[in-house]
Amino acid sequence: MSTGSSVPMFGCTCARLRKLTRRVTRIYDAHLAAQAIKVTQYSLLANAARGERSVSEFAAELEMDRSTLSRNLAPLAAQGWVSISIGADPRSRRIGVTAAGRRKLRAALPLWRKAQCEVEALLGKAGVGELHSGIERALAALPNPSGKR
């Protein structure tokens, strides 16, 4: 860890992580393009398929701002893959996956698996395991938006 105005030993962690995620995203997007879905959309759809819930609950699960989540869900709703309905409170919204969304997930799953396999082939099984372990350690050490670790 650095002190004062010295440059950190490892450079900007955020910039390095963003560079890595852009590279990995390109691999997934290239595979998923055959189903006209991006990995960010696939991930939202797959997570939404775990069960209907409010936008607030979904945003908290993903550790994402509600307004960002709503913006990212809009194209999925426009495609007819998710439904956004009024919740128990007229100000709240509930997210659910439609039959078309479930079909899209089933069609895209084999492509997503191919992307997973490509990443594993490039990094090696041990490399992917190390990456996942490091990510889990970092997630456990860093506070989430609610302030919990």
Taking the C-alpha atoms of residue 116 and residue 92, their distance in angstroms, rounded to an integer, is 35
**Which residue segment(s) compose the domain that 51 sits in?**
37-113
Span 75-94, average pLDDT? 90
Span 26-49, average pLDDT? 97
**Mean pLDDT computed over every residue of the chain:** 91
Structural domain includes residue 69: yes
Structural domain includes residue 82: yes
Structural domain includes residue 98: yes
pLDDT in the model for residue 109: 98
Residue 115 pLDDT exceeds 60: yes
Residue 10 pLDDT exceeds 90: no
Highest mean pLDDT among 53-57, 82-86, 132-136: 132-136
pLDDT in the model for residue 4: 59
Q: Give the angle 62-14-18 at the CA atoms, nearest 5°.
A: 70
Strands (E), the chain: 53-54, 82-86, 93-97
Structural domain includes residue 65: yes
Structural domain includes residue 68: yes
CATH number of domain containing 79:
1.10.10.10
How many separate domains does the chain show?
1
With a CB cutoff of 8 Å and minimum separation 6, the contacts of 37 are 45, 104, 108
